[in-house]
Amino acid sequence: MAAENGNKPRVLSGIQPSGNLTIGNYLGALKQWVAVQHDYDCFYCVVDLHAITVAQDPAELRRKTRESAAIYLAAGIDPEISTVFVQSHIPAHSELAWMLTCMAPLGWLNRMTQFKDKSAKQSQESIGAGLLNYPSLMAADILLYHADLVPVGDDQNQHLEFTRDLAQRFNHLYGETFTLPSVMNPQAGARVMGLDNPTAKMSKSEASENHAVFLLDDLARARKKVMRAVTDSHREIRFSDDRERAGVNNLLTIYQAITGETQEAIESGFANKGYGDLKRAVADCVVGTLEPLQARYNELMNEAGYLDSVLKIGREKAADIANDTLKLAQARMGFLASS
Ligand code: AQP
């Protein structure tokens, strides 16, 4: 099964409205989404069904869902070109997810790093089954649209492998149905680390104050967070895999992901400079990214009805494709067609 619209290969990706979107989400995902939208038939969803794999406040979830969609547009996603929608508006995601859940071996699910990390933060008794089944829902998201490519940060690569394995299993058992997707990671910024703890991935749901720069942070606050980033007691400014130098490496990576300069050019630009200079330069880049995004975000939120109309059009376009794929998968699996 090939992607449908025109001759362009198809892209699908999403972000959970599980908190405030971070520069990690931007550099790992959103920036790539914007960059590829003219070359691919792109579907970008706000994955609210994923967000509820950990407890969410209902009013907050609704607010963050709209906010996330507005951030997609403010970051440069053009709804005239890309399809933007909310995952729960298309029931086919939940329906296919159930079918895939029934085919997903527990052994595969138990091996998922994200499940191990997130479940380790809860008591064994209270871990929701949705957290374990998260990858089957993600597989449904991707397979419903016959996506060829999935632009994500590298923390999602294991889920992509899982999706391919599950699609292959389905195709083998029931006949060729799903396209096998490939992962697309950015060259720089595939894993932005926490500013307060550069050995842990920056996450929107991490509570500590200086962990992440949020895309809607007040600009002075964003600057302050970068200026307070953890570094080390060395002096040299260069890229390094050394765990001890992870803080400086992270700042350089953020700088590289935003400026697009080569590592060599960046290192020579910072030769004979100090960590204060590096932090100031990174803070300038980050603020330079946030400022226009926030201005556009505020405009969008003040345009009554605009965001909802984008999401409605997106829902209609996405539903057409998703419902066709779901019907095909149901028929292949042996469900009686409704008359
Ligand atoms: N630190 C990161 N660096 C690069 N990319 C990142 N992504 C997330 N964090 C980083 C990418 O952002 C996209 C959306 O992620 P998600 O919201 O679906 O889930 P996540 O990966 O679990 O992101 P968070 O921010 O850590 O959310 P919470 O705290 O709710 O779990 C994905 O493409 C992801 O790779």
pLDDT above 70: residue 61: yes
**Which pLDDT score is estimated for 2?**
45
Residue 93 tokens read as: 């995601």
Q: What is the mean pLDDT of residues 298-304?
A: 94
What's the CA gap between 46 and 12, in Å, rounded?
A: 11
- Residue 267 CA to ligand 1 center (angstroms) comes to 28
**Which pLDDT score is estimated for 122?**
84
pLDDT above 60: residue 1: no
**Which pLDDT score is estimated for 155?**
96
Task: List pLDDT tens digits, range 208-246.
Answer: 999 999 999 999 999 999 999 999 999 899 999 999 999
CB 279 within 8 A of CB 226: yes
pLDDT above 50: residue 41: yes
CB 189 within 8 A of CB 257: yes
**Which pLDDT score is estimated for 339?**
79
Beta bridge partners of 214: 22
**SS3 state of residue 158:** helix
155 in ligand 1 pocket by Cβ < 6 Å? yes
Q: Tokens 């939208």 belong to which residue?
A: 37
Q: What backbone phi and psi angles, to 5 degrees, belong to 218?
A: -55, 140
Residue 126: band (very low, low, confident or very high) from pLDDT cuts 50, 70, 90: confident
135 in ligand 1 pocket by Cβ < 6 Å? no
CB 251 within 8 A of CB 231: yes
Q: Tokens 């700088």 belong to which residue?
A: 255
Q: What is the mean pLDDT of residues 3-28?
A: 90
For the beta sheet containing 10-15, the strands, ordered from the edge strand earlier in sequence to the opposite edge, are: 83-86, 41-46, 10-15, 149-151, 182-184
- Residue 52 CA to ligand 1 center (angstroms) comes to 15
DSSP states along 169-231: HHHHHH-S--PPPEEE--SS-SSPBPSS-TTSB--TT---TTS--BTTS-HHHHHHHHHT---
**Which pLDDT score is estimated for 6?**
65
In sequence order, what are the residues at sequence separation of 6 or more whose Cβ sits closer than 8 angstroms to the Cβ of residue 32?
Answer: 151, 184, 186
87 in ligand 1 pocket by Cβ < 6 Å? no
CB 152 within 8 A of CB 64: no
Catalytic residue among 201, 225, 279, 317: 201
19 in ligand 1 pocket by Cβ < 6 Å? yes
- Pick the residue whose CA is nearest to atom 15 on ligand 1: 15
Q: Within a 10 A sphere around the Cβ of 260, how many other Cβ atoms?
A: 9
Residue 121: band (very low, low, confident or very high) from pLDDT cuts 50, 70, 90: confident
Q: What is the mean pLDDT of residues 115-135?
A: 91
**Which pLDDT score is estimated for 80?**
97
**Which pLDDT score is estimated for 123?**
83
**Which pLDDT score is estimated for 309?**
97
pLDDT above 60: residue 329: yes
**Which pLDDT score is estimated for 169?**
98
CB 230 within 8 A of CB 247: yes
In degrees, to the nearest 5, what angle opens at C-alpha 88 toward C-alphas 85 and 93?
Answer: 95
163 in ligand 1 pocket by Cβ < 6 Å? no
**Complete domains list, the chain, with CATH:** 10-185+304-333 (3.40.50.620), 219-299 (1.10.240.10)
**Which pLDDT score is estimated for 5?**
57
CB 75 within 8 A of CB 31: yes
Residue 45: band (very low, low, confident or very high) from pLDDT cuts 50, 70, 90: very high
CA-closest candidate to residue 80, choices 271, 306, 233 = 306
